[in-house]
Amino acid sequence: MILEPLPVHDGALPGPVLTEVTRLYASNHAFFALSGDFPDPAEITEEQVAKALADELAHPSAEVLLARYEGKLLGLVALLGQHPDPSDPDPWIGLLLVDGRVHRQGIGRELVRLIEERLRDAGHAAVRLAILENNDQAGWFWTNLGYELIGYAEDLELKRPCVLMRKELAPTAG
C-alpha cells in the first residue's frame, strides 16, 4: 500500500479523484449515519465530499492522504500536524476511512501502521485522535492497535461527545 497526498489543484480536486473519494465516503454509510456529518448518509454527493475535504484542509498543518494498492483507492486519512490547542504537542489523526467493501481485511491496520511510521520518521513521539463516544467499533479498533483512553471532550465543530485517545510511538530499531 502506498500513501499519496490528495491532489488539489487551484483549490479543487480533479473530477476523477473526487468521484473516487466520494465512492469511498459513500461506502462508509454506517459511520456517516452515526456521525451525522452528511444530511443523508445514503446519498453522499461529490459537492458534499469536496466541502468536507476543503474543511479538513483549512487548517494550516492539515494534510489528507490517499491509500492505494495497485492503483485502487482503499482508504483515506486526514492528519492534523498541530492541534488548535498550542499546549498539545502531538499530531492528530482526524479521520481514517477504509473502503467499506474491504472492512475487516487488515487494510485499516496497515494504514495506521503507515501513518504511525510516517509520524515517527518526522520526529513525533506520540499521536492522538478522537472518536465519537457512541462509536464502539472504532473504540475497539483503536484500542486493539494500542491507543489508550486519555479523556473525554466535545469535538470542536459539532460539539459531539468524543473519547480522546493517544499512542506513544516507539522509536524504530536500528
Flag whether pLDDT at 129 surpasses 70: yes
pLDDT digits (tens, 9 = 90+) for 70-123: 999 999 999 999 877 778 889 999 999 999 999 999 999 999 999 999 999 999
Look at residue 158 in the predicted model and tell me its pLDDT. Answer: 82
Does some domain include residue 174?
Answer: no
Cα distances (angstroms) measured from residue 39 to each of 34, 49, 103, 127, 159: 11, 12, 24, 30, 17
Helix (H, G, I), strand (E, B) or coil at 168: strand
Can you read off the three cell numbers belonging to residue 168? Answer: 506513544
Give the model's confidence band at 174: pLDDT under 50 very low, under 70 low, under 90 confident, else very high: low
Cα distances (angstroms) measured from residue 152 to each of 100, 128, 144: 27, 13, 19
Does some domain include residue 48?
Answer: yes
Q: Specify burial of residue 67 (Cβ count, 10 A radius: 0-12, 13-18, 19+).
A: buried
pLDDT digits (tens, 9 = 90+) for 136-152: 999 999 999 999 999 99
* CATH code (residue 150): 3.40.630.30
Number of domains present in the structure of the chain: 1
| C-alpha to C-alpha distance for 113 and 98, rounded to whole angstroms | 14
Tell me the sheet residues that pair with 149.
Answer: 165
Does some domain include residue 30?
Answer: yes
Contacts of 48 by beta carbon, 8 Å cutoff, 6+ apart: 38, 39
Look at residue 172 in the predicted model and tell me its pLDDT. Answer: 67
Does some domain include residue 43?
Answer: yes
Q: Which amino acid, residue 84?
A: P
Q: Global pTM?
A: 0.91
pLDDT digits (tens, 9 = 90+) for 54-63: 988 888 899 9
pLDDT digits (tens, 9 = 90+) for 17-64: 999 999 999 999 999 998 989 999 999 999 999 999 998 888 889 999
141-148 contact pairs (CB < 8 A, 24+): 141/108, 145/109, 145/112
Give the model's confidence band at 173: pLDDT under 50 very low, under 70 low, under 90 confident, else very high: low
Cα distances (angstroms) measured from residue 110 to each of 23, 42, 47, 150: 21, 27, 29, 24
* Segments forming the whole domain that contains residue 51: 2-168
Look at residue 155 in the predicted model and tell me its pLDDT. Answer: 87
Q: Which amino acid, residue 132?
A: L
